[in-house]
Each structure stands twice: as structure tokens, then as C-alpha cells.
Amino acid sequence: MRILILGGDGYLGWPQALYLSKQGHEVAVFDNLARRQFDLKHGFDSLIPIQTVHRRIERWNQLTGGKQIVNYHGDTTDYNALSRAFQEFQPEALVHFAEQRAAPYSMIDREHAVYTQYTNVIGTLNVLYAIKDFAPTCHLVKLGTMGEYGTPNIDIEEGFIEIEHKGRKDILPFPKQPGSFYHLSKVHDSHNIMFCCRIWGLRSTDLNQGVVYGPGTYETELDAELATRFDYDQIYGTALNRFCVQAAIGHPLTVYGRGGQTRGYINIKDTVRCIELAIQSEPKQGEFRVFNQITESFSVNDLAERVQRVGNAMGLNVKLDSVPNPRVELEEHYYNAVHTKLLDLGLEPHLLDDAEVERMISLTVEHQDRIDQRLIMPTVNWRKADNVVEPTAEVATNHR
């Protein structure tokens, strides 16, 4: 198939491009390089060195002997650039990663909240129009987030729930309780996509994905120049990444509040497989499907205690430290999310074990000279309207 990957230079988009290319698909990537520009502007960087998108593609083409990946530079909010890629490449399936993806980023201040909502909502609306105008049979595979649901005190179903009210029944979208301006933007995306499927007959799979962990896939590990990024900072770094980095340099693991916050998780190797499974099981014309893309759930304390146990077994002196929670969220709550649809399609999960945690910690030790300790402590507080982005000097002491 011809598959266009929006956001194809990102942490997930790049491994996805390699994976689908290896399976024999014709792949094109479309990216505005905004994530790289953020690093340059604010002094952030990936723990693992990454090559430019041009060099990455060149190296992949060399290693595979001709599995060419086409590269488009553009922004989804620029309809001319987007429509040009559609008309030239004529995608049969489209994987949409091209959004501002960090909740803390969206809560920095008004400017970052507006950027997040504009980029994500308007960009996705442009994508829907491009499909309608230039590729009406194209299957849209959209990366949503489990954060759309929030943490309700009932089981989280896969997108829809049967409701009985005053003697009548209906199947309706599962209620949404997003926890940031970023998560709100994803809810708006889902509503727009479902609407366009209904009125234009588009076909879409909305993948409500959990927190992704893992430094790479089988394809990115073929060569150092194919590596994807590894974020550990307080804006883009997920809890497991941050904990592994902190363990490597002797910094206490920063558990937010009581640490009972529970979320769904998935290995990056499973993420790329889930996308393929979604593409292979194409929805009917006009159908809007929702899959919960997780494989297991952990609390913040679960992750911190596992990193501590594994780190100490490696000879590191790993301590835990509770810090004031910068987010507005329940720290003790019920959490049970249904996630059977991808398993039914054939997903065989890579579950988190001690060996994977040891591998991640070892990787951070290997690259510890690249760790900027000013990026560790949170600077974005949900309760404030004017946070800062730049790293602080609060933890500038070298713990190594």
C-alpha cells in the first residue's frame, strides 16, 4: 500500500515509517520539524543522538537496497503543502502523528495552549478535507490518547458505551474528561473525525494510545543513524524515561504527589505493530472505529519501585522522593481500561519486565554525559497561567 505518515520525523512516526517500509509498503513522511525546533530554541535534546530526517532516510535507503521513503516538509495547518503531498503521493492509508503531543507543553501559558489547540485541531481538520478532496477512499489511522477518557470511576470501554436512560437504550461515545489543553485538543479531533465519517463517508480508526515506552524498535536498532529520540525532560519525557535517567545519575526519582496516578502503557514495538493491524483491518465506508491501544497499566509508584529495584540490583543507589504534583489530577483512583480489539486482531504484546527496565537504565548510563540535569525538575504547574519553559538551575549539581 501507499502509506503517508504525518509527523514522520517524530519519536513514533520515524520508527513507524521504517517498520511499514520493511513490510514492503510504499511510505512517505510529512513533517514540519517543530519538535527539533523546540529543542534548538529552549536548549533541550534527545538523550540518544538522532540524525537529520534527510540523513535518516538516506541511511535507510542504503541499508535496505532501495526501499525508498519519500520525504515531504510541511505543516498540517498549511493546506497547500498538505494537499500537494496528497496529490503527489495519493495515499491509500494515512497515519496521523503530526500534533503537539505533550500535556505539560499545552499548560505552559496562553501562547502554548493556543498553539497546541490550533496545530492539533486545525491540522486534523485540514487532513480530513485533504482526504475528502484528494483521496476519499484513504483509511485515516489517527493517534488519539487514553487521556481523552480521564479517570472515571467505571471501566473505560473502547470508544463507545451502551447507555440506558429513562427506559431507552443507545450506544454513545464514551464520556470524555481530558486533563489538559492537549488532551482537550484530542477530544476535539475525535469529534471532528467522527462527524466527517458520518457526513462524507470517510473511514477512520481512532487509536486511543497509552503512554509509550522503549528506546526503539527492531528497525531503529539496525544502525545508530536510524535511532529515534529519547526524551527525559519535564516537558516531553514520560515517567519511566525520567526515572531511568534519574537512577543513572543518582538523582532521587521524582514521584509526583502520592504516586497513585494509574495509566495505560505500551511498548513502542507494539505501537508500530498496532498501526499495521489497524491498516490491515480496514473499516467500512463511513465507519469510525476506536481501539484502546494499551497492553497493561501501572501507577507512578509501580514504575518508580520497579526502577528502584532494578537499579539497585545493578549497583546503583536509587532513592525515591515525593515532590509536589504540578498537575491537577486524582492521585488515588480506580482505573480499568478495556483493550481487547487489537489483541483480537493478532497483537502479541511485549510486556514490561525487569530486563527491559535494565536495558533502559543501561542506555541512560551509556549516554549520561548527554544528560542535562536542569531538565529534570518540573517547571510547568497546571494551576498557573504563566509558566516557564527554560530549564532551571535548581538541580545543577552533578550527581555522578
Residues known to be catalytic: 145, 182, 186
CA distance 191 to 194: 5
The three grid cell numbers given for residue 313, joined into one nine-digit string: 540490583
In order, the DSSP letters of 276-297 are HHHHHSPPPTT-EEEEEE-SEE
Q: Do 174 and 159 form a contact (C-beta atoms < 8 A)?
A: yes
The angle formed by the CA atoms of residues 20, 120 and 153, to the nearest 5 degrees, is 90
DSSP 337: B
CA distance 185 to 100: 10
In order, the DSSP letters of 207-236 are EEE-EEE-S--TTGGG-GGGPPP---STTT
Place of cell 500500500: 1
In order, the DSSP letters of 132-161 are HHH-TTPEEEEEEEGGGT---SS-B-SSEE
Backbone φ and ψ of 284, nearest 5° = -75, 160
Beta strands, E only, the chain: 2-6, 26-31, 69-73, 93-96, 139-145, 160-165, 168-173, 203-209, 211-213, 253-256, 262-267, 288-293, 296-299, 320-323
Length of the chain: 400
Q: Strand, coil or helix: what is 169?
A: strand
- Beta pairing class for 203-209 and 288-293: parallel
Phi-psi category of 353—alpha, beta or left, where left has phi over 0 and alpha has psi -120 to 50?
beta
Nearest CA to 47 among 393, 356, 316, 363? 363
